[in-house]
């Protein structure tokens, strides 16, 4: 390659900027609003204040109060208003301040947004709806600022459920979610809002919904997770590598629809699967994954499918570190599964 070709390649390379996950979310919103005038942001304090975590900082001053505006403290109203906006052609991005408070909006999301297209024979739809919600523990938030409610929404046909685990994913997946033809619930792992950093393209780009990411290739066991739990999974994989256990690590990225083919392909190779999430074990989405993989990979399994999850109790305050499924619990489960 000559100097001229190198120069052209360098010029063509997309410009990147080091961002944390929160900044990547803000960049995605700014990009979407700049490119498409139909995009509007709404929620509690999302305007001049920029939201409780500052995810919408400077969006109102840049794009006007008509496109980034505050709502009353009523989650049902936020969801209902956003559904109406999407139904009349807007790309509505609603923020629920904490995922713990999404439950008052559950009826609007599950009985209206998810079914809007189906109840009208596709004459009407609210596919331009995206609902953002910070979820999960790790901030000493106690019972009402720490929950992981993703499994509730994975049971609602008509929705898509997305959970990024790093800044690059956060921007690409959020842009894809905003433009997707179906309503999307976009859960953001607030524990790593500022802790997770990386190079993110400053330009507009999308990552496909429904596609998992193989983070690390291995042969002995498949480790599967999403969101902030990927930090614990990756740490566990590094520790057991010192003992000769080669883990294949997969970040699910999208829970509904989830990438069954990528996970099944990995399990057919490794013969073992461990799934980890913060939400309580009983009724957690790991159970759905385990049932599906058992059905499609039964003859390939060398051990029972393992689940490492939160406890079946309300999320504690003082005992948060004992409740969360950390890397030590995952390491123990890996060793048990591999030696089965």
Percent of residues, the chain, with pLDDT higher than 90:
92
Exposure of 229 in the CB half-sphere (CA atoms within 13 A): 29
Q: Would you say residue 250 has pLDDT above 90?
A: yes
Q: Would you say residue 11 has pLDDT above 70?
A: no
Where are the alpha helices (H) located in 88-181, listed in sequence order?
106-107, 116-119, 150-154, 167-179
Q: Would you say residue 92 has pLDDT above 60?
A: yes
Looking at residue 14, its pLDDT comes to: 78
What values do phi and psi take at 36, rounded to 5? -130, 115
Percent of residues, the chain, with pLDDT higher than 70:
96
Nearest to 157 by CA among 111, 94, 99, 210: 111
For CATH 3.40.50.970, list the domain ranges present in the chain.
14-201
Looking at residue 6, its pLDDT comes to: 42
Looking at residue 10, its pLDDT comes to: 47
Nearest to 275 by CA among 248, 243, 296, 298: 248
Q: Would you say residue 151 has pLDDT above 90?
A: yes
Looking at residue 99, its pLDDT comes to: 97
| Residue 61 CB partners (closer than 8 Å, separation 6+) | 48
Per the rule left: phi > 0, alpha: psi between -120 and 50, beta: everything else, 142 is left
Looking at residue 12, its pLDDT comes to: 60
Looking at residue 122, its pLDDT comes to: 87
32-65 pLDDT, tens digit each: 999 999 999 999 999 999 999 999 999 999 999 9
For CATH 3.40.50.920, list the domain ranges present in the chain.
213-338
Specify the DSSP class assigned to residue 99. G
Res. 219 pLDDT band, cuts 50 70 90: very high
| Residue 26 CB partners (closer than 8 Å, separation 6+) | 54, 55, 56, 57, 58, 59
Specify the DSSP class assigned to residue 111. I
Nearest to 186 by CA among 129, 137, 230: 129
Q: Which of 13-17, 106-110, 129-133 has the lowest mean pLDDT?
A: 13-17
Per-residue pLDDT, averaged over 157-183, amounts to 98
Mean per-residue pLDDT over the chain, rounded = 95
Q: Would you say residue 1 has pLDDT above 50?
A: no
CB 234 within 8 A of CB 215: yes
Looking at residue 4, its pLDDT comes to: 52
Per-residue pLDDT, averaged over 259-284, amounts to 98
Looking at residue 9, its pLDDT comes to: 45
Topology of domain 213-338, CATH = Rossmann fold (3.40.50)
Nearest to 50 by CA among 17, 95, 109, 116: 95
191-217 pLDDT, tens digit each: 999 999 999 999 999 999 999 999 999
How far is Cα 284 from Cα 339, in angstroms, rounded to an integer? Answer: 25
Scanning the structure block, which residue is given the tokens 């079946």? 312
Looking at residue 90, its pLDDT comes to: 98
Q: Would you say residue 170 has pLDDT above 70?
A: yes
Looking at residue 8, its pLDDT comes to: 47
Looking at residue 5, its pLDDT comes to: 46
Catalytically active residues are 75, 145
What values do phi and psi take at 86, rounded to 5? -65, -35
Buried b (16+ CB within 10 A) or exposed e, 164-177: bbbbbbbbbbbbbb
CB 221 within 8 A of CB 270: yes
Instruction: Please identify, in words, the CATH class of the domain defined by 14-201.
Output: alpha beta
Q: Would you say residue 72 has pLDDT above 50?
A: yes
How far is Cα 130 from Cα 26, in angstroms, rounded to an integer? Answer: 14
Looking at residue 2, its pLDDT comes to: 53
Per-residue pLDDT, averaged over 158-168, amounts to 98
Looking at residue 23, its pLDDT comes to: 98
């Amino acid at each position: 390659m000559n100097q001229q070709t190198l120069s052209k390649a360098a010029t063509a390379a997309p410009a990147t900027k080091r961002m944390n996950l929160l900044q990547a979310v803000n960049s995605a919103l700014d990009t979407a609003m700049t490119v498409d005038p139909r995009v509007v942001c709404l929620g509690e304090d999302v305007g001049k204040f920029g939201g409780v975590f500052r995810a919408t900082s400077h969006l109102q001053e840049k794009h006007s109060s008509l496109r980034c505006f505050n709502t009353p403290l009523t989650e049902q109203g936020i969801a209902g208003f956003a559904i109406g906006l999407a139904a009349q052609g807007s790309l509505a991005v609603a923020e629920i301040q904490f995922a713990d408070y999404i439950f008052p909006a559950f009826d609007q999301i599950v009985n209206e947004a998810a079914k809007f297209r189906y109840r009208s024979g596709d004459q009407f739809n609210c596919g331009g709806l995206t609902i953002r919600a910070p979820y999960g523990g790790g901030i000493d938030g106690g019972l009402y600022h720490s929950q992981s409610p993703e499994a509730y929404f994975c049971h609602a046909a008509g929705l898509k459920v997305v959970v990024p685990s790093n800044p690059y994913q956060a921007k690409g997946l959020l842009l894809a979610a905003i433009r997707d033809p179906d309503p999307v619930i976009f859960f953001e792992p607030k524990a790593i809002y500022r802790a997770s950093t990386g190079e993110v393209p400053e330009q507009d780009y999308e990552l496909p919904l429904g596609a998992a990411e193989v983070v690390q290739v291995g042969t002995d066991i498949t480790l599967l997770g999403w969101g902030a739990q990927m930090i614990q999974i990756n740490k566990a994989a590094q520790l057991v590598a010192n003992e000769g256990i080669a883990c294949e690590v997969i970040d699910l990225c999208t829970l509904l629809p989830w990438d069954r083919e990528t996970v099944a392909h990995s399990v057919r190779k490794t013969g073992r699967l461990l799934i980890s999430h913060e939400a309580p074990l009983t009724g957690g989405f790991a159970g759905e994954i385990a049932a599906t993989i058992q059905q499609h990979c039964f003859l390939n399994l060398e051990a029972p499918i393992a689940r490492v999850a939160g406890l079946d109790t309300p999320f504690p305050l003082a005992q948060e570190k004992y409740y969360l499924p950390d890397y030590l619990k995952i390491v123990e489960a890996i060793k048990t599964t591999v030696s089965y």
